[in-house]
């Protein structure tokens, strides 16, 4: 059971590694960790999830007017395509956020797997309104950190800001034949550098991941890394703890952080 909110403290912020969508079919213990984590938190008023799988030129927010589940992947087992996650639309909430921050809106787009895969595990009852926010790689890393800071007011309203991406995401280096393969040395080196910066609150160092050890391999493209910067911005200087750890397919990092 979710514990009730007892104080008006800002709601925590989460960076979660959504992994590969087939995590839902594997009885992966990480999915239980995600659910247990949600159960330790107060019940939020709504969710804002920033997904690596919605890329736009400028930041865009949507309220999923039509309760759509987007199966934006190919080549996975057929039962995965039958899964649905249809929470209440959050058009009103998304419009208010867009007006306040000057964001574009798209309420016809549904929830992609970067959003619904972790939410299906964390809040399977699908009763919380869900807004989704895009990443905008062309805007650069600092814009994502600054956007997170501008979003932090939502925490005072009980909104759960969830940033969904991956710290190490190099599809060309994955071992698709071995789900639980140990990570390569380069992947561990890069993750350690990111982890040290996140837990030390050194957000400026995170703005240039390619300058970190093995950063070119760890972040060949930016879309999965950028949600972390939004989370760091929204968290400001709050304490941070690691949640959920491990590797999948050799170099897919499943490490997350809870701020607050």
From residue 97, alpha-carbon distances to 49, 57, 119, 147 in Å are 13, 18, 21, 12
CA 30/CA 130 separation, integer angstroms: 22
Q: What is the pLDDT of residue 105?
A: 98
- Structure confidence at residue 74 (pLDDT): 93
For residue 4, pLDDT over 80 is answered with no
pLDDT tens-digit series, residues 51-68: 999 999 999 999 999 999
pTM across the whole model: 0.95
Strands 13-17 and 256-259: antiparallel
Q: pLDDT digit string (tens) for 214-238?
A: 999 999 999 999 999 999 999 999 9
Beta partners for residue 160, in sequence order = 47
**CA pair distance 62, 75, nearest whole angstrom:** 27
Residue 2 has pLDDT above 90, yes or no: no
Average pLDDT on 112-117 reads 98
Per-residue pLDDT at 7 exceeds 90: no
One of 3.60.21.10, 3.10.25.10, 3.40.830.10, 3.40.50.1220 is the CATH number of 13-185+221-259, namely 3.40.830.10
| pLDDT of amino acid 3 | 45
pLDDT in tens, 163-177: 999 999 999 999 999
* Residue-range domain boundaries for the chain: 13-185+221-259
């Amino acid at each position: 059971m979710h514990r009730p909110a007892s104080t008006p403290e800002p709601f925590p912020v989460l960076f979660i590694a959504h992994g590969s969508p087939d995590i839902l079919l594997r009885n992966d213990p990480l999915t239980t960790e995600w659910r247990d984590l949600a159960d330790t938190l107060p019940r939020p008023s709504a969710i804002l999830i920033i997904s690596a799988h919605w890329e736009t030129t400028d930041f865009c927010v949507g309220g999923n007017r039509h309760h759509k589940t987007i199966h934006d992947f190919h080549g996975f087992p057929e039962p995965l395509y039958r899964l649905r996650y249809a929470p209440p639309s959050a058009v009103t909430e998304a419009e208010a956020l867009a007006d306040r921050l000057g964001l574009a809106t798209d309420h016809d787009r549904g929830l992609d797997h970067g959003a619904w895969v972790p939410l299906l595990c964390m809040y399977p009852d699908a009763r919380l309104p869900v807004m989704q926010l895009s990443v905008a790689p062309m805007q650069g890393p600092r814009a994502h950190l600054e956007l997170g800071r501008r979003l932090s007011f939502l925490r005072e309203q009980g909104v759960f800001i969830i940033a969904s991406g991956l710290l190490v995401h190099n599809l060309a280096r994955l071992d698709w034949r071995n789900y639980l393969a140990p990570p390569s040395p380069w992947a561990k080196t890069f993750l350690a550098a990111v982890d040290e910066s996140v837990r030390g609150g050194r957000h400026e160092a995170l703005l240039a991941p390619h300058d970190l050890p093995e950063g070119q391999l760890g972040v060949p493209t930016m879309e999965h890394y950028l949600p972390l910067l939004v989370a760091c911005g929204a968290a400001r200087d709050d304490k941070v703890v690691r949640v959920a750890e491990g590797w999948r397919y050799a170099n897919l990092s499943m490490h997350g952080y809870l701020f607050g």
